[in-house]
Amino acid sequence: MIKTLQRQVTPPRIKRRALSIPAEFDSDPVVWAAWLYYEEGMTQEEVADQLGVSRASVVNFLQEARDRNIVTIAVSSRHLQTIGLARELADAYGLTSCLVVPDDGGRLLVHERIGTAGARLLIERLKPDDVLGVSWGRTVQALSAALPEMKLPGVTVAQITGCSIGTTEFSPELCTSNIANRLGARCVNLHAPGIVSTAQIKRLFMQEPALVETFKIIQSSNKVLFGVGSVDDAGTAMRSGYMTPEKIAPYLARGAVGVVSGRFIDREGKPILGALDNQMIGLTLDEIAKVPERICIAGGSDKIDAVYAALNNNYATILVTDLATARALVPRATRSHRTGVSSRP
């Protein structure tokens, strides 16, 4: 926000008790209160102590400052730009909500900026009895680190993909437990490998009573949080050890451009099924698509194709992305999205 303070010499409309007001404020407590609050960043309580008045008086002073145009408040052009683009993106892809993160001059990496913004959005969206399904990745991990500590004991945070042998930075169980710990929520980890060696072993795992009960909780999620991965050598799936080039090669040959919760999608967002799908333990794309509120946090120049694919097949109802990615996505929106028709078969 941009706040502009203008000197005024108009006396206050009502008579107030005499205060020791610095001369530069023209003996006007309204101007003095506005300066302390908007320019020096004091709280209303601190302003009240400085002026020797009640906090209610400070609230009245600040309102009068706005009424008399001593203070004018405007939205900066940078934020207007991102708000306008977010609304356009939401309309283009049929999203219920969208948040576009402005550039910060390179202070933070893209996934850190998106994760921080996603954390703010998440705490605004959570309700007391929510079951939040959580996937994994750099951006989800950044979100977990940016969350403030809260107490939401009625919320359940559930891991929707199995565990990996990768680094702690990208482990699914760490993303879930970090978010649950920050929120003071119940944590439900999925204690099974993300990928097992054969389809038969997966069937045996899925028959285990403990896993059956865990999946009942996971499948009851009314919100889900996920990132979108690329399929190049720098992608999270590759760096984490979750997958190998040999395992990914058949999917690439069939046109995979992105990964959502460990599952491959093509340029239109349609699932690409292969041998690995019969070995993966976790929610499928169809199951994710049935969750009422689906929060996608993703961006970066290397993920534009992947994020487009995820949006194109309506995997997300809410998107948090960066400015450059948003600018690239709007022109790509298909006519079916602009008319509100789903591309999901």
- The percent of residues above 90 in pLDDT, for the chain, comes to 66
pLDDT of residue 235: 60
Q: Identify which of 192, 185, 206 has the alpha carbon closest to the alpha carbon of residue 132.
A: 185
pLDDT of residue 115: 96
Q: Can you give the pTM of this predicted structure?
A: 0.76
Q: Are 154 and 187 in contact (CB under 8 A)?
A: no
CA atoms within 13 A on the CB side of 271: 18
pLDDT of 237 strictly over 90: no
Comparing 31-40, 173-182, 304-313, the range with the smallest average pLDDT is: 31-40
Output the pLDDT for position 82: 86
Q: What is the pLDDT of residues 213-228, one digit of tens each?
A: 999 999 999 999 999 9
Please state, rounded to an integer, the average pLDDT across all residues of the chain: 86
Which domains does the chain possess?
2-74 (1.10.10.60), 79-338 (3.40.50.1360)
Q: How far apart are CA 50 and CA 326, in angstroms?
A: 46
Burial class (CB in 10 A: 0-12, 13-18, 19+), 50: middle
- Is the pLDDT at 73 greater than 80? The verdict is no
Gap between the Cα atoms of 62 and 54, Å rounded = 13
Which is more confident, 338 or 137? Answer: 137
17's CB contacts (< 8 A; 6+ apart) are: none
**Going by C-beta distance under 8 Å and a sequence separation of 6 or more, which residues neighbour residue 106?**
none
